[in-house]
Amino acid sequence: MIDRRTLLRGAALAGGGAALTAGLSAWFPAWAQPVSAGIAATLPTVAGTDISLRIAHQMMTVDGRQSHAIGINGTVPAPLVRLKEGTTVRLSVTNDLDEDSSIHWHGLLVPFQMDGVPGVSFPGIKPHSTFVYEFPVRQSGTYWYHSHSGLQEQIGHYGPIVIDPAGVDPIRSDREHVIVLSDHSPLHPHMIFKKLKQQGGYFNYQKQTLVDLIKGEDQPLKDRLIWGGMRMDPTDISDVTGATYSYLINGHGPHDNWTALFRPGERVRLRFVNASAMTTFNIRIPGLRLTIVQADGQPVRPVTVDEFQIAIAETYDVIVEPVEDRAYTLVGEAIDRSGMARATLAPREGMIAEVPPLRKRPLATMKDMGMGDMGAAPVGGADCPPEHAAMGHCTPAPAVPMDQGATAAGGMAGMNHGASGMSHSMRDFSNAPTVRKSPTVQTISPMPIDRTGEPGQGLQDVGHKVLVYRDLMAIDRNPDVRAPDRAMEIHLTGNMERYMWAFDGEKLSEVKDPIPFLENERVRVTLVNDTMMGHPIHLHGHFFELVIGHGDHAPRKHTVQVQPGGKVTFDVTADAVGDWAFHCHMLYHMHAGMMQVVTVRPRLGEAA
């Protein structure tokens, strides 16, 4: 807040209107500050088959302000590692910290001993020691690397990887730029985690207010009362927000105005990497259409959109074709719209385009709560639960006895609807028999649905074409098209009030056995999101095929966003023997326990 005294003091010091604006610029949101002439420097790059990397403390400057970081070779992001498919690379990583560190090669198919997860696939890199990673490069595309030790990733320990194909690149472009998205806070990550443990919504400064209610904005009163009775907050879209974060592109804040150059008429390839700790971004370039050509490093049939949502740890390669001799703004808006990453695409350094204002922040819906498609035609009778009737979604049958856990206000605890046989309770474990009854489970989605055909949260009504997972189709036939040998269901569970996160109600510290796979077996996995927050789920050492109706040309990914109250199904071939991490890629969710280990065992009588 800017009080009257601050304004008067600023005016006296500035001595004029223009100077007052400049003097108060520090009070503006980062994306709205006056900008520099642009930083057009490319990312530092290391390449070849013998590469040295050094992890160390350093300072970094974001929008003119210095803060502590952990970088690699003196830079944040870490240097671009450029490799060649078909070669064998040797990466000597020296840890100059006074604590253990590590590097995980996200999305790369490597022997499990080289995967870089302490306690799972190797012991970690001890302080002031060197570990040598060596592995064959078996793929091409856009990937990234980061620490898997503590919360180091949050303060700068991340960088991009580009692997050039062994032959001619089938994706034609005249030039390319790597776009690394991230979030940065001057607050130490352990302090961020402590505040989340103390109050899950600590960083949410966008809650509904009485003023909004009087103005007729956001939820009407009856919906607010119902959500309040359930102790749920529809504005709880992101755990950590622009209240503490600056959103970066290639290590630069919105005020820095990092600039990517082009010549009008060129095909420009933009390699997007979401290396943030906690932020899903919505990407658009007003005035340009975006043609998606790769997802998670894997080629897909080109699909042209106006905007796409990139979850944490995903990568997308995009072609743009600017024909005008003018600047364009590259917008990376945080999913909760509390801030944005911003850069410029321009023919010349120093050019600036208009920066669009932040859009109105989204609100969670009944669908995000796992209550199915509330946009469908109204139902009635026994299929109309009281909490739906209270919102005008259907007409209830005559009074039906409530379970003992139900509340007179229509709260969802213990609500069971007789003739339909469907329980609409928000914590009915009969809807998820594999989930452990533990404090980690605040809610169970009564009616989770496949949301892979929908735009990401908050993008349903933006008025232009938004990428959905079902738009993605592999160019080449999938390498394994066998039917699954078996199926399994895994629930994504959490308790926002206690800030506890887990799979199937069990935190990593409580899990006794890994998830077992046999070598080369084909498994169909369904992820069910029992929380009101999207989760980017990553399986190490493997690609999986999304089951979205494309048959043997399903898109292959290593990370998938499971929308709130939704579910995602994928088929995976367990073709990599060893122990592999499997986790949510929201850093503080993983740190709180949302991680397990997948073990792929060799078949008896077969060589390992």
Per-residue burial over 99-134, b if 16 or more Cβ lie within 10 Å, else e, is ebbbbbbbbbbbebebbbbbebbbebbeeeeebebe
Look at residue 371 in the predicted model and tell me its pLDDT: 76
In this structure, what DSSP letter does residue 245 have?
Answer: P
In 3-state terms, the chain is what percent helix, strand and coil (to 5)?
A: 15, 35, 50
Which pair of tokens denotes residue 52?
């040295």
Report whether pLDDT(133) > 90.
yes
Give, in order, the Cα–Cα distances in Å from 554 to each of 468, 475, 489, 571, 602.
14, 9, 20, 10, 27
Task: Tell me what percent of the residues of the chain surpass a pLDDT of 90.
Answer: 69
Look at residue 8 in the predicted model and tell me its pLDDT: 33
**Pairing relationship of beta strands 522-529 and 486-495 according to DSSP bridges:** parallel
Q: Which residues contact 16 (CB under 8 A, 6 or more apart)?
A: none
Residue 538 φ/ψ, nearest 5 degrees: -120, 130
Cβ atoms of residues 310 and 302 within 8 Å = no
The 10s digit of each residue's pLDDT in 333-391 is 999 999 999 999 999 999 999 999 999 988 878 787 777 775 443 334 444 444 444 44
Which pair of tokens denotes residue 464?
């232009």
Q: Which residues contact 412 (CB under 8 A, 6 or more apart)?
A: 230, 387, 424, 425, 426, 446
Look at residue 183 in the predicted model and tell me its pLDDT: 97
pTM: 0.86
Which pair of tokens denotes residue 451?
């949301």
Q: Smallest Cα–Cα separation from 23: which of 5, 32, 11, 41?
A: 11
Measure the CA angle with vertex 185, ends 317 and 55; round to 5°.
70
> Mean per-residue pLDDT for 578-586?
98
Cβ atoms of residues 335 and 238 within 8 Å = yes
Look at residue 330 in the predicted model and tell me its pLDDT: 98
d(CA 45, CA 49): 13
Amino acid at 513: D
Mean pLDDT lowest among 308-312, 397-401, 426-430, 602-606: 397-401
Give, in order, the Cα–Cα distances in Å from 461 to each of 329, 336, 456, 532, 537.
22, 15, 11, 19, 26
The H-or-E segment that residue 249 falls in is strand 246-249
> Predicted confidence band at 37 (pLDDT cuts at 50, 70, 90)?
low
Chain center to CA of 468: 15
Which pair of tokens denotes residue 121?
């696939």
d(CA 540, CA 559): 9
Q: Which residues contact 156 (CB under 8 A, 6 or more apart)?
A: 58, 60, 69, 70, 71, 76, 77, 78, 184, 251
Amino acid at 534: G
Compare 192 and 14 and report the one with higher pLDDT. 192
The 10s digit of each residue's pLDDT in 415-441 is 444 334 444 556 677 778 888 888 888
